């Protein structure tokens, strides 16, 4: 058995248990566990050996779990905001249902964006963070965040007009 297989065999059950305790969902736990190893293989060049490999993997796991909770919170928050919209006298019930459906379609389209772009859009729209705050959080330049947010916003608007 090579070293990588040995590490996987040893740490996979521990990571899975960690995620299962935190999420109480086996499917999410499996996905997050696999994501840890994927992220680790992508960024193995950054591992400096200052901590044990298991510590480094659990740091990745912790970051992925935080990202999972943020995503879940934002989606729930958006749906709550959509559903909590007061019924306005100049909108019919059918029009309000259409507005909610459009918002749900927009959320699905946002979910399909690539990870850094999706995070930028969600943090801007749902978190109502400034471009600087988003840049600091995601370790990206403010200008990169600003430009990519506007590009994605225009792209989503064009897609919505086509629908």
How confident is the model over 4-25, as pLDDT tens digits?
778 889 889 998 988 888 888 8
Lowest mean pLDDT among 7-16, 39-48, 118-127: 118-127
pLDDT at 81: 66
CB atoms within 10 A of CB 130: 14
Q: Which residue has the higher pLDDT, 42 or 115?
A: 42
Confidence of residue 35 (pLDDT cuts 50, 70, 90): very high
pLDDT of residue 39: 92
Task: Look up the CATH number of domain 1-68.
Answer: 1.10.1740
The full set of domain ranges for the chain reads: 1-68, 85-163
Q: What pLDDT is stored for residue 90 in this prediction? A: 60
CATH of the domain spanning 85-163, picked from 1.10.3720.10, 1.10.10.10, 3.40.640.10, 1.10.390.10:
1.10.10.10
Whether residue 113 has pLDDT greater than 90: no
- Of 88 and 95, the structure prediction assigns the larger pLDDT to 95
Q: What is the mean pLDDT of residues 53-65?
A: 88
């Amino acid at each position: 058995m090579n070293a990588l297989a040995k590490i996987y065999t040893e740490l996979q059950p521990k990571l899975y248990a960690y995620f299962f305790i935190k999420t109480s969902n086996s499917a999410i736990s499996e996905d997050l566990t696999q994501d840890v190893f994927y992220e680790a293989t992508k960024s193995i060049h950054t591992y400096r050996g200052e901590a044990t490999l298991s510590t480094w993997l659990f740091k990745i796991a912790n970051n992925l779990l935080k990202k999972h909770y943020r995503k879940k919170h934002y989606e729930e928050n958006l749906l709550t905001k959509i559903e909590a919209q007061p019924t306005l006298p100049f909108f019919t019930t059918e029009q309000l249902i259409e507005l909610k459906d459009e918002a749900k379609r927009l959320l699905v389209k946002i979910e399909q964006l690539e990870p850094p772009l999706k995070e930028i859009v969600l943090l801007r729209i749902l978190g109502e963070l400034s471009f600087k705050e988003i840049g600091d959080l995601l370790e990206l330049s403010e200008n990169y965040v600003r430009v990519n947010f506007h590009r994605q916003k225009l792209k989503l608007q064009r897609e919505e007009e086509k629908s």
